[in-house]
A and B are shown apart, each in its own frame.
Chain A
Amino acid sequence: MADFALNPEMVDKVTPRLVKGNSTYKSVTDDVSRIVETKTPREWWIAFSLSVAVALMMVGMLAYLVAFGIGTWGNNSPVGWAWDITNFVWWIGIGHAGTLISAILFLFRQKWRTSINRAAEAMTLFAVAAAAQYPLFHTGRPWRAIYWLFPVPNTDLNMWQNYRSPLEWDVFAVSTYGTVSLLFWYVGLIPDLATLRDRASGVRAYIYGIFSLGWRGAARHWRHYEMAYMILAGLSTPLVLSVHTIVSFDFAVSILPGWHTTIFPPYFVAGAIFSGFAMVITLMTVARWALKLEHLITIKHLENMCKVILATGMIVGYAYGTEFFIAWYSGNPYELFTFVNRAFGPYWWAYWSMISCNVLVPQIFWFKKCRTSVPIMFIASIFINIGMWFERFVIIATSLHRDYLPGSWGYFKPTMVDICTFIGTMGLFMTLFLLFIRFLPVIAISEVKGVLAQEDQVAKHGHGAHH
């Protein structure tokens, strides 16, 4: 980003803390490219085959589901949605950090984003991929879902989808989000792909070459690139808010006590960012150690993310409180019962795990010690991921299992298929992520260079990609 990099005193202000050690453009390029170019380490193979195995389990489970029906899951009447939608919302939520970091922080000129945005964006895409299958497969007959949910005019029916339905909104919200995130990610990759192309030889050079779309780092290229990147950032910014807002409508628009509430959109978005950052920390703390990138992904980056988590964690906690207050204040007995039932009913354990993971755990980040200790934040982030899963489960299952008429009350228990499918989605996610770190630059080389504080090189930045 030449335009900021060329302003020395800003560089001064920002850089030293963002990149540790005496990195030069060359060293940065080398450090990042090295990961892709060196011979595949054994650890990678182990991790990869493990994740693929788990991902295949998911495929098997879905095949089983398609063959026999939703009855293979624990869903019942009244609990029509359970783990399926829980996992969908959970993954979509995780997907939020990426776009937030790349787009919003970019527009706010938060330069510390540079070393983590690439990985975060990738994570977004993979999370969306993991999430996207649930809306289709939770019908048990995905061919029907694809066939009817998208407005394809391929039979002479003279009727369309029901655009009043939040599920129909979801279809568009999620697909748009997926598309834009993909473009955003890819555009950002182009200069670095070119870098890899130029360092590589043979077939690799060709492949990287094709995907770098003939990038030669000419000033014109940079101008178009900056433009495109800016526009996409602008495009995806509202999406960060809109996607989870619309996902939250699936519930907010219904009339079910515990679902029918106006607080959902902000509450869901905050929760999404909360969980997203947690996942970024989980991945980054491991990645930077495994890939020896401690000097590029510094404690500073991680600490900032911890701060975001603390903030959003508080928002989420506040939302929990508000829900309860309104449930009582509204004087609606059904609403009140639903919330008391969440906390003290048959699913009390889910509720209290949610509270402890999402509200209590983040409080440790008040202390710099915790914000800067990698092991602590790693463990904390895991807890938060768990907590956010429980949040979705609590909202969905406990609201459904006891609603208006006690005569229809029931209880939900997951089956092995439920559990294995969910674990499988993690396999899918990890598989894609491992492929990513193996074949693509984990860190936005060109952008990191933009925040290096070496006058002599700043001038040459424009050609940085050639080193």
Chain B
Amino acid sequence: MPIFSKKHDLIARALAAFVAVGALSGIAAYTYFSHPKVIDVGYQPKQPVPYSHKLHAGDLGMDCRYCHNTVEKAAFAAIPPTETCMNCHAQVKPESPYLQPVRDSYATGKPVEWLKIHQLPDYVFFNHSAHVTAGVSCVSCHGRVDQMIEVKQVEPLSMGWCLECHRNPAANIRPAELVTNLAWQPDRDPAEIGREIIAQKKIAPPVNCSGCHR
């Protein structure tokens, strides 16, 4: 008399199927949840000062380059020194409690420690000036910062995402003077405009490793 009746075969098969499905969905889940689009996009840390880009860049219409003044000259788009804030806030809202950290910093000379939102790995050498002068707008990577009260990451900033544009930049190229105009809406297909500029400026983004990794 066999210890295993025929129904055990069924159980065995079911078990096998279950394991197979489980394994597959496991891989699928891992692939999805480890994807930069999922884990990086939406990062929105609390800043030491509740600075609103919406108010400054959006409503007041200040140009990005007023604060991030090195963006066209250097790899690093400078975060403004406290001085820059005080240029205005010495007069504007000089009493606001929100600005206390800024005033302290100005008084003591201790820097305000902002939190970095758009972080690239340190083996990636990104250069703002190269992109901005080519006509890549801030909005392409940072989104509508002029509408964000607190800035958050909107793009994955992953290698694949970078390469998509480097291989086919047309859609993200605009006249250089318009790069900080985040609201820009051309009357015709932006890619078309992009293609013209690319042809005329001879824009050829690198797609080889040392373009970004050194």
Q: Is B158 at the interface (CB under 8 A from chain A)?
A: yes
Residue of A nearest to B38 (CB): A156
Chain B residues with a Cβ under 8 A of chain A: 2-4, 6, 8-9, 12, 27, 30-31, 34-37, 156, 158-161, 163-164
The answer to whether A206 and B3 touch across the interface, beta carbons within 8 angstroms, is: yes
Instruction: Given A214-B8, A214-B9, check contact A158 B163 (CB 8 Å).
Output: yes
A and B contact pairs by CB, cutoff 8 A, 14 listed: A152-B27, A154-B34, A155-B34, A155-B36, A155-B160, A156-B158, A156-B159, A156-B161, A157-B158, A158-B159, A197-B3, A205-B3, A214-B4, A214-B8
Instruction: Given A214-B9, A214-B12, check contact A156 B4 (CB 8 Å).
Output: no
List, in ascending order, chain A residues with CB within 8 A of B37's CB: 156
List, in ascending order, chain B residues with CB within 8 A of A214's CB: 4, 6, 8-9, 12
Complex-state Cα separation, A154 to B158, whole angstroms: 12
Complex-state Cα separation, A214 to B161, whole angstroms: 52
Residue of A nearest to B9 (CB): A214
Tell me the smallest distance from the CB of B1 to a CB of chain A, in Å: 11
In A140-177, the 8 Å CB interface with B consists of 152-159
The answer to whether B31 and A156 touch across the interface, beta carbons within 8 angstroms, is: no
In A210-244, the 8 Å CB interface with B consists of 210, 213-214, 216
Instruction: Given A152-B31, A155-B34, check contact A213 B12 (CB 8 Å).
Output: yes
The answer to whether B12 and A156 touch across the interface, beta carbons within 8 angstroms, is: no
Q: Is A276 at the interface (CB under 8 A from chain B)?
A: no
Residue of B nearest to A153 (CB): B31
Q: Is A257 at the interface (CB under 8 A from chain B)?
A: no
Q: Is A209 at the interface (CB under 8 A from chain B)?
A: yes
Which are the 9 A-B pairs with shortest beta-carbon distances? A158-B160, A156-B160, A156-B158, A158-B163, A157-B159, A214-B9, A154-B34, A156-B36, A154-B31
In A311-352, the 8 Å CB interface with B consists of none
The answer to whether A216 and B161 touch across the interface, beta carbons within 8 angstroms, is: no
Complex-state Cα separation, A149 to B27, whole angstroms: 16
List, in ascending order, chain A residues with CB within 8 A of B159's CB: 155-159
Given contact pairs A155-B34, A156-B156, A210-B12, a sample of 19 additional A-B residue pairs in the complex whose CB atoms are under 8 Å apart: A153-B31, A154-B30, A154-B31, A155-B35, A155-B36, A155-B159, A156-B35, A156-B158, A156-B161, A157-B158, A157-B159, A158-B160, A158-B164, A159-B159, A205-B3, A209-B3, A209-B4, A214-B6, A216-B2
Residue of A nearest to B6 (CB): A214
Residue of B nearest to A209 (CB): B4
Complex-state Cα separation, A197 to B2, whole angstroms: 9
Complex-state Cα separation, A209 to B160, whole angstroms: 50
Tell me the smallest distance from the CB of A22 to a CB of chain B, in Å: 31
The answer to whether A157 and B31 touch across the interface, beta carbons within 8 angstroms, is: no
Residue of A nearest to B35 (CB): A156
Tell me the smallest distance from the CB of A212 to a CB of chain B, in Å: 9
Complex-state Cα separation, A156 to B159, whole angstroms: 6
List, in ascending order, chain B residues with CB within 8 A of A206's CB: 3
List, in ascending order, chain A residues with CB within 8 A of B34's CB: 154-155
Instruction: Given A213-B12, A214-B8, A214-B9, check contact A157 B160 (CB 8 Å).
Output: yes
List, in ascending order, chain A residues with CB within 8 A of B35's CB: 154-156
Tell me the smallest distance from the CB of A438 to a CB of chain B, in Å: 22
A174-210 to B contact mask, C-beta < 8 Å, 1/0: 0000000000000000000000010000000110011
Tell me the smallest distance from the CB of B53 to a CB of chain A, in Å: 26
List, in ascending order, chain A residues with CB within 8 A of B158's CB: 155-157
